[in-house]
Structure 1
C-alpha cells in the first residue's frame, strides 16, 4: 500500500486543485501519485480476490472457476 506521506500529499494537492491554486508541476505530481495509488490498490484487491473462497448457505464451494484457476496457478509457482 502507499505510504501515509504520499496519501497526505495527494490530499493536499487535491485541496489545492479545488482552490484553483494548483501549478502545472503540482498537477503532474498529483497525476503520478494517483496512478501509483491506483496500481497499489488494484494489486491489493487482486491479491484479496485470488485468496477468496466462496461458500453458499449449504457449505458448497461455489468459487468462480476463473478464481480457482488463478489459485491453482499460484500453488504451482
Structure 2
C-alpha cells in the first residue's frame, strides 16, 4: 500500500528544498564525525565506539527525514553515503 504524499508548491516548496539542503549539510558533517570517532575506536566499550553508534543513528534518522521531505517536494528519494 502506497502512502499519499502531497506535492508542495510555491513558498512551501522553497522552504522544503532549503531544509533538504541544510539536512544534507548536517548529514555530511555527521559522516565526518563518524569517521573521526571510528578512527579513535580501539574497543567496543570505548567512548568513541558509543559516539560512533550515536552519530550513525542520528545520520540514519536525518536520512529518513530528508527522504520524507524529498517526497513532499516531488523529488526522488536519495541515499547519501
TM-score by length of 1: 0.49
Which structure is higher in RCO with an 8 Å CA cutoff and minimum separation 6?
A: 2
Q: Based on CA coordinates, which of the two structures has the bigger radius of gyration?
A: 1
